[in-house]
Amino acid sequence: MTSADFLFSYERMLSPSFGAEYASMLHGVRGAKAFNTGKSKDFKSVGLRAPDAHTLVIELDHPIPYFLQLLCHHSWIPVHPGTILKHGKMDSLNTLWTRPGAMVGNGAFTLEKWEVARRVVVRKNPLYWNAKEVSLNAVEFRAISDLFAEERAFRGGELHITGAVPPYKVAKLREQKAPQLRLDPFFSTAFVWVNCNIKGTKPVDLAARKALSDPRVRRALGMAIDRNLIAEKVLRAGETPALHFTPPGTGGFQPTTLWKQDANEARRLLAEAGYPGGKGLPKFDYLYATSEGQQMTAQAYQEMWRRELGVEVELRNLEWKVYLSAMRKGEFHLCRGAWVGDYNDPNTFLEMLISGNELNVSHWSDVEYDRLLGLAAKETDSVRRFDYFQQAEARLISQAPVLPVVFNKNKFLIRPEVQGWYPTLLDQHPFTAVKLVPTKGD
């Protein structure tokens, strides 16, 4: 691996024709955003260079306090140019370079099998620079969409670790103080996206666009959500009510402007917007992915909005990939959302709502919010920087393009023989540090 591999990877990442979802992670580099958005055609204008094979120079557009954390994000990891170009052009999409036998990486494991929608198997890489310290011979990842099937597989000894736990099981296991249950801190907020720019010409589309373009309607929907009930009675896994968007303590930041849970004020706002008791509103849809937990939460929202505001909501349950596609295309009125921070700084949450950000599926655009985040990006004084973030959080509450609901916990089951799987806010677990240690009776 040489510095040229990094330059190739970053040019590919920033190429407009490639359309990388996380290209904005590199926008702090001088000239990167201009190149990524097509304003500049010459990659040499980007502040990246390799004076020799072992040196990479990155020149930033402005100081970034969390820059070293950014470098740990997967968008900065290099790809192998020879493999990419063997299977297509630099910006070609959906080529076979990631298939077993083709993929070339520099990590501790190599790709052995990839059975779509079933499993992925990786095996220890003997050429890894620190292979002698890698304990695991292989890792198998199972694709299991049914939480109950996953739990049965765990209890049957087929899995060492699960990705999640059925909500009702979490409550029972907590009561039993089951040692296999882990509820780790998690850098994540669950929320409701509000589509602020609904497309379509049907009467229901036009009526929904008119209603949801009014911040008073959006705020009413947010105020009517009983976050305590969602956390304590529906999810029941140690989640805490989210009265602001950025998780508390993120990079030392604590939002001070909070959402009100006030059904009376919500009804007043809805009436002021011209919809007393929900009269005149179309039936909204609420989009969510197939999941026991998401279904229970969706039903709770539906009942709260009906009971408190007279708002009728139709639930739309879609398979995960279809849900993602519909969400990104804006084919919804209200939609389940969640975000796990990419680095420990408020910017990883708040920049999602900047106008034009590829992750901003609300299609909300606000000049003042963009201005505040722009000032925070260039501010080196932490006190002033946090003040811009405070104002941005307050702006999100007043305009309500997202309705924060709970701060999540990382819920999973783990067998006692798994060692080295430590709690981390970003849920990152290097398999180079994980070991399987036999327990008594094994």
**Domain 185-409 falls in which CATH fold?**
Dipeptide-binding Protein; domain 3 (3.10.105)
**Considering the chain, what is the average pLDDT of its residues?**
94
Regions of the chain short of the pLDDT cut 50: none
Counted residue by residue, the chain has a size of 442
Strand partners, 113: 121
The DSSP call for residue 208 is H
pLDDT for the residue numbered 441: 59
Angle at 285 between CA 294 and CA 163, to 5 degrees: 20
304-361 tens-digit pLDDT: 999 999 999 999 999 988 999 999 999 999 999 999 999 999 999 999 999 988 889 9
The pLDDT of residue 42 is 95
Every domain of the chain with CATH number 3.90.76.10 lies at 3-102
412, two tokens: 């999973």
Q: Residue 254's pLDDT is what? A: 95
Q: What is the pLDDT of residue 292?
A: 72
Measured CA to CA, the distance from residue 423 to residue 410 in angstroms comes to 9
Closest CA relative to residue 164, chosen from 424, 405, 427, 425: 427
How many C-beta atoms lie closer than 10 Å to residue 413's C-beta?
22
User: How many CA within 13 A on the CB side of residue 217?
Assistant: 26
Is residue 395 within 8 A of residue 365, CB to CB? The reply is: no
Question: Which residues make beta-bridge pairs with 317?
Answer: 288
pLDDT at 442: 58
User: What topology is assigned to 3-102 in CATH?
Assistant: Dipeptide-binding Protein; domain 1 (3.90.76)
- The confidence score (pLDDT) of residue 107 equals 94
Closest CA to 263 of 296, 233, 219: 219
How much is the pLDDT for 247? 95
Residues of the chain with CATH 3.10.105.10: 185-409
Burial class of residue 52, CB neighbours in 10 A (0-12, 13-18, 19+) = exposed
The reported pTM is 0.85
Per-residue pLDDT of 194-203, as tens digits, reads 999 988 778 8
| Tokens standing for residue 150 | 């996953």
Q: For residue range 220-234, list pLDDT tens digits in order.
A: 999 999 999 999 999
**Residues 209-223 as b or e (16 or more Cβ within 10 Å = b):** bbbbebbbbbbbbbb
